[in-house]
Each structure stands twice: as C-alpha cells, then as structure tokens.
Amino acid sequence: MRSVSVIGIGETKMGRLKTQTLKDLIKEAGNKAIKDANIEKEMIQALYMGNFNGAYWSTQSHMGPLASETLGLGTIPTIRTEGACASGSLAFREALIAVAAGVYDVVLVGGVEKMTHQATEKITTGLASASDCLCEADMGATFPSLFAMIANRYFHEYGNIRKEMAMAAVQNHENAMLNPNAQMQKLITIDDVYNGFPVASPLTVFDCSLITDGAAFIVIAATDVAKDRGLNRAIKVIGSGHAGSALTLAGKKTITTFESTLKAAEIAYKEAGLTAKDIDLAEVHDCFTITQIINTEDLGFFTKGQGAKGLAEGKTARDGIIPINTSGGLKAKGHPIGATGLSQIYEIVTQLRGEAGERQIKKADIGLSHNLGGTAATCVINIFSGR
C-alpha cells in the first residue's frame, strides 16, 4: 500500500446558509480545495462524496454525479458514502484505500449537508433515521435522548460530570471564536449551559451540537505523486482505522465506552506506529458534550473515568497537552453532518500546516480526527503527520 497525503483542503463558512443550494456549497468548497491543491481538474480521477440525508431533507440523492457535474469533473467515477454523522469520514476512508491501493493517484473527497431550511421536526426525524427506526426512532427516541441515557449511565458508573460537560461546551465556543468558518461566534458560560433550554436531561441545548449547512472538500494523492508535482504542503495520512458496533443502544455491551472507537483507534495507532501520547491535537466527535469526554478517554488521551478531570485541568485547551476541537468542534464550529468528518480533517491539516492563525497551537506535528455515526455504531479515525 502506498503512502497517501492530503494535498488540498477547502470548506464553506458553516451556518444557516439560506441562499446557497447544495450545488452552491459543493461548488464553493470543492473549488477551494482544488485551488488549494494547485492542481488541474483533469488530474482528479475519482470523487467520493459524503452526504447523510439529502434524500430526506432536499429530495436529492445521487450526490456523486451531482457534485462531479457541478465541479466540471467529466466522466470520473463517483460514489456517495453514508454512515450517519461519519459519512464524510467514510468517503475519506474509502478514497484513502483506493489511492493507497494504486487504483487512483489523485482523488477528490467531499462532504455536504443542507439542513437548516427544514422545520425542526423534519430535521429531528431525519437525524433519528441514523438510529434503528423500528427499535429506537419509532419508539420516540431521538439522538439527544439516546446520548442523555449515555450521560446518565456515565454518571452512574464514573460520577457526575455535569460541570465538566458544560466546560467542554464553553471551551468549544472559545475555540470557535477564533475560527472564521465557525457557525457559532459567541462566548458562553457554565451557567449558560446549565440554564439552557432543557433537551433531554441532563443535556440542555448548549450540550448539543448545531444544525448546520456546509461543505468541506479534501484532495488526496499518492505521496510520491504529490512529491513529483512539487506539492510541498502535503500532509501525510499515517494511520487510519474504521470499526463499528451495534446500531441500537440496547445491542451494545457498554454505552459509556464506545467499542467502535477502541477498535478503530487500535488499528489507526498500530498503522501509524504511535500511541495516544504521540498525538499533538485531535478533532473528536462532540455531537454532545458527554460524547467529547467519552471520546477523549476511548482514544487513550485520558484513562477511563478521567476525561472530565483532564478537561477541567485545561489539558484539552489550545495550550494544553492534548488540544481538542480547536476548530470549535461540532458544538460550535457546526455539524453539517455529511461534511463533518472532512471539516475535522480540514482543521487538522490547517493546524499541521501552521496556518490556523489565532487558534494555531504551538506543537502541531501529529493530528488525529475522530468521527462517529449514530450512537458510535460507526467510527472512523485518521492520523496525520506534518513532518
């Protein structure tokens, strides 16, 4: 398998983008990534598109050729990948395998979602389709309620971390203030989180990630091909892992540790020849504040039950030992479902290039992206090196 590098990145501003269609978002982010890669469109040999639910929210499926026609990419093969909130990372993962295997040299990976034009009920129902409909959604479960159960069980097993969950939200809002593409540009306090609109106890609205329109695109290439082209800003993908677990909460052995993360991390760390200690920064899947804390444990940044303490001690802040979600995360940068995994990679690559401006962290050699789908029924992890 060949070494593969990210050679171009592009994303839209995240938010309520009322005047932009799916095609507008694709055009903007796709062309930014291609321009950033400094390649001709003719070099792109395939397009992998992550999209969660254009079918339900915009009656638009078949996002592969929609994007390739919009971007003027001719007759290249395209595919849409879907794995709930990990749809974008799945596109990246499949593209990575194809380039590493030598099927293609240069591939465009995109993710897009448009949600905010829909009524709240339709957004919630569409999101709930990522659960087991017969056993969960149709019984009244929504994702906030499922993750609220996870939080309550976590409290039972490891103690009440309500305050630290609020601190995670506060920190992500702080980071988003320094990210011009972030949807949320507002500082909040722990009291704001406590007093937020109750969604599913213990989660208030400030514990929940955002409803977001947006797109993110990544150009990857065989590292040798990138070198031949003199593309010196290439960021290597040095490890990748993908794993799953039962779709239903009831089907999982435990809901306070995500088995899919454990397994995907084991694979990715092994491939990279690294451990959690070697990671300089990570974008982790903070669909809810509880999720962020569990993820930092499952990824090995903190021992089990110690994630909240680590956060409270400032270890996940931009100047901490393992900065988490410097982009603002799903919580404050935004969560355009199908684009989220690629927007995480956008942030990691930006940091590893040293181009993150005011939010740039000091030591950014090795970065990790961690993307979940559903209640962690899908997990994709990638490790990147700027060395």
The set of catalytic residues is 85, 335
233 binds a copy of itself (CB under 8 A): no
342 binds a copy of itself (CB under 8 A): no
β-strands 203-204, 198-200 pairing: antiparallel
DSSP type of residue 121 = H
Point out which span in 59-67, 110-118, 278-286, 344-352 binds a copy of itself (CB under 8 A): 59-67
> Of residues 10, 30, 64, 111, which one binds a copy of itself by CB under 8 A?
64
> Of residues 13, 65, 312, 365, which one binds a copy of itself by CB under 8 A?
65
98 binds a copy of itself (CB under 8 A): yes
- Which CB atom, from 89 or from 327, has the smaller least distance to a copy of itself? 89
137 binds a copy of itself (CB under 8 A): yes
Point out which span in 35-43, 206-214, 216-224, 242-250 binds a copy of itself (CB under 8 A): 242-250
The dihedral through the CA atoms of 267, 227, 283, 92 has a sign that is negative
265 phi and psi, to 5 degrees?
-65, -40
126 binds a copy of itself (CB under 8 A): yes
> Of residues 3, 43, 55, 142, which one binds a copy of itself by CB under 8 A?
55
Tell me the DSSP string of 157-200.
HH---HHHHHHHHHHHHHHHHT-TT-S------HHHHHTSPEEE
Distances (CA, A) of 62 to 50, 135, 275: 11, 28, 39
Point out which span in 27-35, 140-148, 162-170, 373-381 binds a copy of itself (CB under 8 A): 373-381
Q: Which long-range contacts (CB under 8 A, 24 or more apart) does 306-309 make?
A: 307/161, 307/164, 308/161, 308/164, 308/165, 309/164
Q: At what angle do helices 289-298 and 259-272 cross, to 10 degrees?
A: 50
- Which CB atom, from 63 or from 168, has the smaller least distance to a copy of itself? 63
At 348, list the tokens: 């990691």
28 binds a copy of itself (CB under 8 A): no
- What's the CA gap between 206 and 333, in Å, rounded? 13
- What's the CA gap between 328 and 212, in Å, rounded? 13
- Which CB atom, from 260 or from 325, has the smaller least distance to a copy of itself? 260
How far is C-alpha 77 from the geometric centre of its chain's CA atoms? 24
> Of residues 42, 102, 228, 270, which one binds a copy of itself by CB under 8 A?
102
Q: Which residues bind a copy of itself (CB under 8 A)?
A: 1, 21, 23, 46-47, 52-56, 58-66, 68-69, 75-84, 90, 93-94, 97-98, 100-103, 125-126, 128-134, 137, 242-248, 251, 259-260, 263-264, 373-374, 377-378
